[in-house]
Amino acid sequence: MTLPLSLVNTTLDYPDGDGTSTALDDVSLQVGAGSIVALAGPSGSGKSSLLAVAATLIRPTSGLVLLDGVDATALAPRDTAALRREKIGIIFQQPNLLAALTALEQLQIASHLRGLPPKRSRTRALELLDVVGLAGYAHRRPHQLSGGQRQRVNIARALMGSPSVLLVDEPTSALDHERSEAVVRLLVRLTREFGLATVMVTHDLEFIPLTDAVASMRDGRLGPPVPAARP
C-alpha cells in the first residue's frame, strides 16, 4: 500500500553566514491514511521546517518527499506546485483569512485556484463549512467570527482541494484551552472521516493523547513515533 506521506532521510540546510545551519538532520517519517501524528519539540528544533519540506514549500538539501508515492523532490517546480495543490492541505498557526471575504468566499477562492466550476465550488464549500460546525456562518466575515470559528474556516479551506495529507502548525496557539481542545478533536475527526495523513505540530502536550502517535524533534533530529497514550 502506498503511503500518503513519506519523508526519507531528508536533510535541510539553511545558509548561515559563510556556512550553513542544519534545520533537518536525516529525518524520516511515514504517515498512513486516517492517522494523525503529533510533532513535539522545543522552539527552533525544526518542526516548522519539517512541515515546509513535507508541504513541498521548501526542497530539502537531500532526501525524498513522497506524496502518495510520487517523489516531489524529483519534479520541476511547476509540477511540484501542481502536486502540492492536489495532495496537500496546510493550516498555519494564525488563520490567515482575507478580511473582506465571507467564510464561504474564503473557501471558494481556494477551489477557484484549482479550476473547479463555481457551482460545484459553492456546494463543496457549504458542505465543508457544515462538516466543521459552521453551517449558518457562511456569510460572516472574519471579524464577525470568534477565534475558534476563524480557525475552523481555515481548516475547512485546507480541505477544499481534497488533500491526502494535512499539515498543521500549532493550530491552537491563538486559542483558549476549551477552544483548543475542540480544534484538536475536530482535526482528529476529519483525519478519520477523510482518510487524511495528518501531521500536527503542537506545544500543548495535553492534547497529544487525542492523536495516534507522537514524534519528538530536537536539534533537527526526529525521534521515532511512539503511540500516544490513551486517557
Residues at the interface with ligand ADP (CB under 6 A): 14, 21, 23, 41, 43-49
When the beta carbons of 44 and 209 are compared against ligand ADP, the nearer one is 44
Between CA 133 and CA 127 the distance in angstroms is 10
- Tell the smallest beta-carbon distance from residue 107 to Mg ion (Å): 26
Contact pattern from residue 112 through residue 131 relative to Mg ion, giving x for each residue in contact according to CB under 5 A and a dash for the rest: --------------------
If the CB atoms of residues 17 and 136 are measured against ligand ADP, the closer one turns out to be 17
Best CA proximity match to 210, nearest among 82, 86, 36, 89: 36
Q: Give min distance, CB of 43 to ligand ADP, in A.
A: 4
C-beta neighbour count of 77 within 10 angstroms: 9
Q: Closest CB to ligand ADP among 49 and 211?
A: 49
Q: How many Cβ atoms sit within 10 Å of the Cβ of residue 118?
A: 10
Contact between 141 and 100 (Cβ < 8 Å): yes
Closest CB 45 distance from ligand ADP, rounded Å: 4
105 or 170: CB nearest Mg ion: 170
Is residue 174 a contact partner of residue 151, using CB atoms and an 8 Å limit?
A: yes
